[in-house]
Structure 1
Amino acid sequence: MEMSKERLTAFTDAVLAIIMTILVLELNKPEAMTWAAVWDLRESFFAYTVSFFWLGTMWVNMHRAWHNVEKINNELVWNSLILLFFSSFSPIQQVS
């Protein structure tokens, strides 16, 4: 049985969406609702921003590449899976 391009695209989109959601869950809440408290978390917010846009750029480029794909084969499925696996390490964590 052959996998459709739409199914692999949907799977890739879902995994990237989950990774991006986990990024925002890792952000700490400011201790108070002040600019100073938000500024104290600037490194975490910077790491979140870099990670989010890195993953977003990857997503945009993958969707551009999908237009050139005519047939899904096992090699493409495994390459996509490996890319998603390493993307899950993409969220940059602040070192305390």
Structure 2
Amino acid sequence: MSAAGWFIVLLALVGANLPFVNQRLFLVIPLRGKRKSAWWRIVELIVLYFVVGAIGRTLEAQAGNLFPQGWQFYAVTFCLFLVFAFPGYTFRYLVKYR
């Protein structure tokens, strides 16, 4: 696997966990409430999936071999993105704080 491929995998791992590590919307916008709701985290997760996908598509185009993808590719990569989000989800919702 090339360096660009590993970069995308690492970027997906970080991007999938970003919604769960802070209380700001997209790491920038503070919300009026004290805690960010689960719906905002889902919206962030979907937007970050498309951002990481666009970066991956750009790197693939720069490599010179842009391949057409069907819906199956996007379904599998979104599921993989959700699997990558599991550590952040566990940290936010399953770890009990005393």
TM range (shorter): 0.3 to 0.5
TM-score (norm: length of structure 2): 0.38
Output the TM-score relative to the length of structure 1.
0.38
